[in-house]
Amino acid sequence: MSKKKYILPTIGAMVLVASITVGQVRAQGNSSGALAQTIAQKFGLDKSQVQSAIDDFRQTKFVTRQQKMNEARLKRLDTLVSLGKITEEQKKLILEEQARLEKLHPAGSFKEMTPEERKKIFDAEKSEIGVWAKAHGIDPKYIKMGLGLERGKFGPRAADRKFDWK
């Protein structure tokens, strides 16, 4: 009976400590530096080692995501080739153009831009890609633009949809 008396207060204390810790992290900002600082203080670790672990985790996650997206891109283009929608040469041209765009706009390059600035760049490139695709005999609907446009109208079945390319 005496153990039951302590369970509820212990759970309450744990919830209180967790909410205070979360509140401290939010008050310091959602940056990984604040997270690393909080974890280091909480568990008595060196902040630089914690920060290094966080950075390693994020980099690994980024690289894995990039690999999966590249595999999906190749699979999608291979499917288009096998369906006769594009040729092997057009597939190569598409991959080269996408590599050029990725080099032009590396990951994270849009983070500091306003939505209006991003839209302006996106619209300009959409026009350029439409012209480029038509010049190479490729239907622009087979071109996927950007890394963040894997969902929605640029999703898995985007090749079969019609878009308003100017």
* pTM assigned to the model: 0.59
pLDDT for the residue numbered 36 = 86
- What pLDDT is attached to residue 6? 62
Closest CA to 163 of 149, 153, 150: 153
Q: Is 125 exposed, middle or buried (0-12, 13-18, 19+ CB in 10 A)?
A: middle
- Token pair for 6: 């302590």
Looking at residue 140, what is its pLDDT?
A: 85
Q: What pLDDT sits at residue 12? A: 58
Predicted local confidence at residue 2, as pLDDT: 60
What is the pLDDT tens value at each position of the chain, 166 positions in all?
566 666 656 665 655 555 565 555 444 445 678 888 998 898 888 888 889 889 999 999 989 998 998 899 899 999 999 999 999 999 999 999 888 888 888 877 888 889 999 889 888 888 888 899 999 999 888 887 554 443 444 444 444 444 444 4
Rounded Cα gap, residues 61 and 58, in angstroms = 5
pLDDT for 74: 92
* CB neighbour list of residue 102: distance below 8 Å, 6 or more residues apart: 147
Answer positive or negative: Cα dihedral of 85, 90, 95, 97.
Answer: negative
pLDDT value, residue 164: 47
**What pLDDT score does 149 carry?**
40
